[in-house]
Structure 1
Amino acid sequence: MPHVTVKMYAGRSNAEKQELSDRISEAVRDVLGYGPESISVGIEDVSPSDWMEKVYATDIRPKEDTLFKRPGYGPLAR
């Protein structure tokens, strides 16, 4: 605990994904005080053509009340 899931467009290298995972883990340690053994990070690739259906419609829009950073696109953009 905690587990962080990142969903993003497909096409990034494993090195970029590792760097992102390392930085997320570091932020979790710094802000929340968890040790590295407590943190896990998953990265899921999503095709751009599937984004609105598979991510926006299922993970973003219905969970609007849990968003701390809103997207700048779609119905939730402000």
Structure 2
Amino acid sequence: MPHVIVKLWPGKSEAQKTRLAEAITKAVTEILHYGEESVSVAMEEVKAGDWAKKVYLAEVKPNIGTLYKKPGYDESDLP
């Protein structure tokens, strides 16, 4: 605990995903004062064509009030 899931489009390298996971882990440990052993980070690739249905409409929009960082677009901007 905590467990962070990053949903992103395919195409980022393993090195980029590893660096991101390390940066997230560092931020969690520094800000929330958890030990590194308590943090897990997953990457879930979602095709661009599936983003609106699988991520925005299913997870972002219904939970917009609980997001600490909201996207800079809304449903009308999606394909």
TM range (shorter): over 0.9
1:33 matched residue in structure 2: 33
- The DSSP-based 3-state class of the residue aligned with 1:34 is coil
Query: What CA distance in whole angstroms lies between the structure 2 residues aligned with 1:13 and 1:39?
Result: 22
Aligned-residue offset at 1:74: 1.3
Identity score, percent: 46
Aligned letter for 2:25? S
Which consecutive unaligned segments of at least 5 residues does structure 1 have? none
Alignment of 1:1-40 (within 5 A): 1-40=1-40
So what's the TM-score if we normalise by structure 1? 0.93
Which consecutive unaligned segments of at least 5 residues does structure 2 have? none
The 4+ residue runs of structure 1 with deviation greater than 2 A are none
2:70 matched residue in structure 1: 70
